[in-house]
């Protein structure tokens, strides 16, 4: 896939304090990539460099074939901050029409963009009457102006209710399918676990892990949890077949490594009618994130 964003050996320091150290990554066209990290990990600094708001101290950054902040990059990059702010006296349609004119686009595109983010019915209302989630959707509509090749989104679902969050990720899926590259920062790990293609984990200014969730699970080698519910009278038989199983109420709990998982499942399957139910829980993104953050001493 063609890389829309390429970063190589990026470093950034402020007054001798290293904020980013040797960061190398890329985001390809059509990819949804989540940037994860604790507060102070360097996420905001990285985004500012990508947008051309601050210079890097070292390394190279290429955005849509140009340098960050160049006319070539600005024409193809959209940004949505965590707390989007707009003029409260303007209506949603007036605010978006203003941004469209700044980008050299016709103001008639405002209503279709607001419709795309679910704000058609509120287009004529003043932004002062909007909830935080509605203002965030105005920001997303603004970010969609001109069909950007790269979207940089900082906590984009902040203030959105569950239904709006689902609609937001459906919209991102559609944009990625059209070829847009998406880099989003989020603390909502449960959301991004299911709706992104790759994960980037920053800790202490270093990129400590990157890859698909399945790849990070294998690399982290965290245990898989299994919860076995026996049929009445077969608890002892199952404990004997599964050394290390712990009884929790009427069920049994055990863990195994990723490499042992299939063998353990085969032993459980051999018990046939003695097992009433089985739940297998792989390491969550939160588990993986905590693992890599602790590994870096955070």
Is 291 domain-assigned? no
Output the domain CATH number for residue 267: 3.30.70.120
Domain co-membership, 103 together with 185: yes
C-alpha distances in Å from residue 189, one per residue of 37, 82, 203, 241, 285: 10, 16, 15, 36, 6
| pLDDT score of 1 | 57
Is 160 domain-assigned? yes
Domain co-membership, 137 together with 28: yes
| pLDDT score of 297 | 46
Distance CA 52, CA 46 (A): 10
| pLDDT score of 158 | 78
| Helix or strand run (H / E) with residue 77 | strand 77-80
Residues 6+ apart with CB under 8 A from 162: none
72 close to 64: Cβ distance less than 8 angstroms = yes
206 close to 22: Cβ distance less than 8 angstroms = yes
Domain co-membership, 34 together with 156: yes
Mean pLDDT by 10 residues, the chain (298 residues): 88 92 96 92 94 96 95 93 89 96 94 93 96 88 93 87 86 92 90 90 94 90 93 88 88 91 92 92 91 66
Tell me the two tokens of residue 280: 């297998």
Q: Which of 196, 218, 240 is the last residue of a domain?
A: 218
Output the domain CATH number for residue 81: 3.40.50.300
Domain that holds residue 77: 3-218
Per-position DSSP letters for 39-52, written without gaps between them: TTSSHHHHHHHHHT
DSSP state of 29: T
Domain co-membership, 110 together with 64: yes
| Helix or strand run (H / E) with residue 92 | helix 92-102
Q: What is the largest CA-CA distance in the chain?
A: 74
Tell me the two tokens of residue 176: 């990625």
Residue whose structure tokens are 């792989």: 282
C-alpha distances in Å from residue 58, one per residue of 44, 96, 230, 279: 17, 37, 59, 48
pTM of full prediction above 0.75: yes
Domain co-membership, 192 together with 44: yes
Nearest CA among 120, 124, 117 for reference residue 84: 117
DSSP state of 160: -
Q: Which of 218, 250, 269 is the last residue of a domain?
A: 218
DSSP state of 222: P
Is 199 domain-assigned? yes
Is 181 domain-assigned? yes
Q: Taking CA 100 as the corner, what is the angle to CA 99 and CA 101, rounded to the nearest 5 degrees?
A: 90
Is 43 domain-assigned? yes
Domain co-membership, 257 together with 138: no
- How far the first Cα of the chain sits from its last, in Å, is 34
| pLDDT score of 298 | 47
What secondary structure, in 3-state letters, does 241-254 show? HCCCCEEECCEEEE
Domain co-membership, 238 together with 109: no
Is 297 domain-assigned? no
Domain co-membership, 90 together with 181: yes
Alpha-carbon torsion angle 130, 187, 20, 5, nearest 10: -70
What is the domain count for the chain?
Answer: 2
Domain co-membership, 205 together with 253: no
**Residue 244: CB atoms within 10 Å:** 11
Domain co-membership, 228 together with 168: no
Domain co-membership, 175 together with 244: no
- Which of helix, strand or coil describes residue 146? coil
Torsions phi, psi for 12 (to 5 deg): -150, 130
Is 148 domain-assigned? yes
Domain co-membership, 261 together with 175: no
**Residues paired with residue 154 on neighbouring β-strands, in sequence order:** 185
């Amino acid at each position: 896939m063609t890389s829309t964003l390429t970063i190589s050996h990026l470093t950034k320091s402020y007054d001798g304090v290293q904020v980013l150290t040797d960061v190398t990554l890329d985001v390809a066209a059509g990819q949804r990539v989540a940037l994860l990290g604790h507060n102070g990990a360097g996420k905001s600094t990285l985004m500012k460099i990508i947008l051309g708001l601050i210079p890097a101290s070292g390394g190279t950054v290429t955005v849509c074939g140009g340098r960050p902040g160049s006319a070539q990059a600005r024409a193809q990059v959209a940004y949505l901050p965590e707390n989007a702010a707009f003029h409260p006296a303007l209506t949603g349609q007036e605010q978006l029409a203003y941004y469209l004119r700044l980008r050299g686009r016709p103001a008639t595109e405002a209503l279709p963009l607001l419709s795309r983010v679910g704000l058609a019915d509120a287009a004529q209302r003043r932004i002062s009457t909007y909830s935080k989630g509605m203002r965030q959707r105005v920001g997303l509509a603004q970010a969609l102006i001109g069909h950007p090749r790269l979207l940089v989104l900082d906590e984009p679902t902040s203030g959105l209710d569950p239904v709006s969050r689902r609609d937001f990720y459906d919209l991102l899926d559609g944009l990625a399918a059209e070829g847009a590259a998406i880099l989003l920062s989020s603390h909502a790990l449960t959301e991004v676990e299911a709706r992104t293609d790759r994960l980037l984990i920053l800790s202490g200014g270093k990129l400590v892990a990157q890859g698909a969730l399945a790849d990070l699970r294998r690399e982290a080698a965290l245990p898989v949890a299994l919860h076995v519910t026996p049929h009445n009278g077969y608890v002892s038989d199952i404990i004997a077949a599964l050394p290390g199983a712990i009884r929790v109420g009427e069920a049994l709990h055990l863990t195994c490594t990723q490499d042992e998982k299939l063998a353990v499942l085969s032993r459980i399957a051999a018990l046939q009618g003695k097992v009433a139910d089985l739940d297998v829980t792989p390491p969550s993104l939160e588990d993986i994130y905590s693992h890599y953050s602790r590994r870096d001493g955070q």
